[in-house]
Structures are given as structure tokens and as C-alpha cells.
Amino acid sequence: MNYLLDTHIFLWVLSNPEKLSKKAAAAIQNPAHAVFVSAVTSVEITIKQSLGKLHVPENLAAEIETRGFQHLPFTYRHGERMRQLPPHHQDPFDRMLLAQTLEESLTLITHDKKMRLYPVKLMIV
């Protein structure tokens, strides 16, 4: 199975791994699984940092590689997929991650129970 980390899950992996469920931690650490971090996460973190809402290390791209995760670019195809999503959730970053999850046939690891409103594979932490 292949996973996409929601932004807060990626941040928990880096600084608060104890917040992860045992199931999520095992899935993320299992080398048989591909774990992706979206370019969307980079944009969300950067915006929240610039607003003073978040403090994170500057080397997050290196952390992705160090931990064996894979970068997932946001493509036009993903943007097109967003159009098909029902308007249950107004957060544009979450909608982009949902579109990527669907388009790439991934399982989204998240703590956001609102994601259950969408027809995506989820692991709720």
C-alpha cells in the first residue's frame, strides 16, 4: 500500500511521533510501503510560517529524503481532479491533498475526520 501524509501528520513524524497511532507509525516506517509528501504540504507550511502560525526546521525537503519518503508534485491532472470533489471541505490544501490521493490511488494518513466525507482511502490517526 502507498500513503500520502497530510501536512500535520508529516509535522508529527518530524517532531511529535508519539501523536501517531501505532498503526500509522508502523505503516509509515514499513519499507515495503511508499510514503509520499506532497508539494502542497510545502506551500501550506510556508504560508503558515510566514504568518507566524508555525515554526519548523528549514530543511524539510532534506527530511523527506532522509526518512525515505518520496516527493509528490502537484500537477495539472491533480487540479482537474479537484473539480470533481464535492464541496464538503473548504480548505484548499486539504482539497488538493484529496485530489492527489484519488488521482494517485493512495491512502491518506490524516487526523482530520472531515476527510471521511470524501470517497478516498484513509487512515485516521
Give tens-digit pLDDT for 21-45: 999 999 999 999 999 999 999 999 9
Is residue 120 a contact partner of residue 108, using CB atoms and an 8 Å limit? yes
Task: State the DSSP string of 61-89.
Answer: HHHHHHTT-EEE---HHHHHHHTTS-TT-
**What number of residues does the chain have?**
125
The better pLDDT of the pair 38, 88 is held by 38
Distance spanning both ends of the chain, measured CA to CA: 17
Q: Where are the domains of the chain?
A: 2-124
CA distance 26 to 23: 5
Predicted local confidence at residue 87, as pLDDT:
87
Tell me the average pLDDT of the chain: 95
Superfamily of domain 2-124: 5'-nuclease (3.40.50.1010)
d(CA 22, CA 25): 5
The pTM of the full predicted model, rounded to 2 decimals, is 0.95
Tell me: pLDDT of 58 over 90: no
Mean of the pLDDT values across residues 33-62?
Answer: 93
Mean pLDDT of 51-65: 89
The 3-class secondary structure across 5-26, one letter per residue, is: ECHHHHHHHHHCHHHCCHHHHH
Q: Which pLDDT value is given to residue 72? A: 98
The predicted pLDDT at position 32 comes to 96
pLDDT of residue 64: 96
Q: How far apart are CA 116 and CA 66, in angstroms?
A: 31
Band (90; pLDDT cuts 50, 70, 90): confident
User: What is the spatial distance between Cα 45 and Cα 5, in angstroms, rounded to a whole number?
Assistant: 13
